[in-house]
Amino acid sequence: MAAPARKKPVKRRRSPIQSRGQATVDVIVEAAAQILARQGPAAATTNAVAARAGVSIGTLYQYFADREALLVEIGRRHVAEMQAVLAGALAGIDGLDLPAAVDRLVAAIVASHRVSPRLHQALHQSLARDHLDTIDAFEVAVEAMVRQALAARPELDLAAPELTATVLVRGLGGLIRTTIRREPERLDDPALAIAMRAMILGTLAGSRRGA
């Protein structure tokens, strides 16, 4: 049996300990994110990023060993922003009945995917396969959150809450990402949220106690 492929390490260079160094890193990351979102992966070369950030290419390489390390940092920050939006949108969901909680979940997932959707797509296209977990970290976190929420609902008796959460989150996430890419205007259509709500409640219908 072949040994599993080893994940390629991210070659991040020096840590920006001083505030000036951190400010430089922030400018570089923001410049790269802007290019990715507005012009696409092909335009986001290290030379282009350095020029947009107003730093020398040598300064960029002081903090990021290569383009991949820079992309990983952009992905980490992007996921953190999405998670913050999701957490804010889900505040108080535990006190809601199931239909209302599902409505809140749908709205929260849609809101989180509104955070720089073009950047999200560009990162998926740009990151090497062995670093895609950087951007997939958001979906993993949502799956864990939904699994815990499902297991805690007294009106549900799920045989496999982990699998149910995975199916729901990946199904909804894929639907939203495709909609953003192909028909972004439909994200504001109430019919889409109604369909997503029906999808979740339909999946859970057979697991309602007393059903």
User: Which amino acid is present at 56?
Assistant: S
- Please return the burial class of 80, using the count of CB atoms within 10 Å of its CB with bins 0-12, 13-18 and 19+: exposed
* Overall average pLDDT of the 152-170 stretch: 93
114 φ, ψ (degrees, to nearest 5): -80, -10
* Overall average pLDDT of the 115-125 stretch: 91
Least confident of 28-37, 125-134, 189-198: 125-134
pLDDT of residue 21: 87
Q: How far is CA 203 from CA 16, 82, 149, in A?
A: 47, 25, 15
Percent of the chain clearing pLDDT 70 (strictly above)? 90
Tell me the two tokens of residue 107. Answer: 């709205």
The answer as to CATH 3.40.50 being correct for domain 75-205 is: no
pLDDT tier for residue 1 given thresholds of 50, 70 and 90: very low
Give bridge partners of residue 208 from the DSSP assignment: 156
Q: At what angle do helices 98-113 and 190-205 cross, to 10 degrees?
A: 130
* Overall average pLDDT of the 73-97 stretch: 92
Homologous superfamily in CATH for domain 11-65:
Homeodomain-like (1.10.10.60)
CB atoms within 10 A of CB 93: 16
* Overall average pLDDT of the 185-208 stretch: 93
- Measure the CA–CA gap between 92 and 109, rounded to whole angstroms: 15
* Overall average pLDDT of the 151-177 stretch: 92
- Please return the burial class of 47, using the count of CB atoms within 10 Å of its CB with bins 0-12, 13-18 and 19+: exposed
Domain ranges of the chain: 11-65, 75-205
- Please return the burial class of 211, using the count of CB atoms within 10 Å of its CB with bins 0-12, 13-18 and 19+: exposed
Tell me the two tokens of residue 147. Answer: 């699994």
List of residues 6+ apart from 192 with CB closer than 8 A: 179, 186
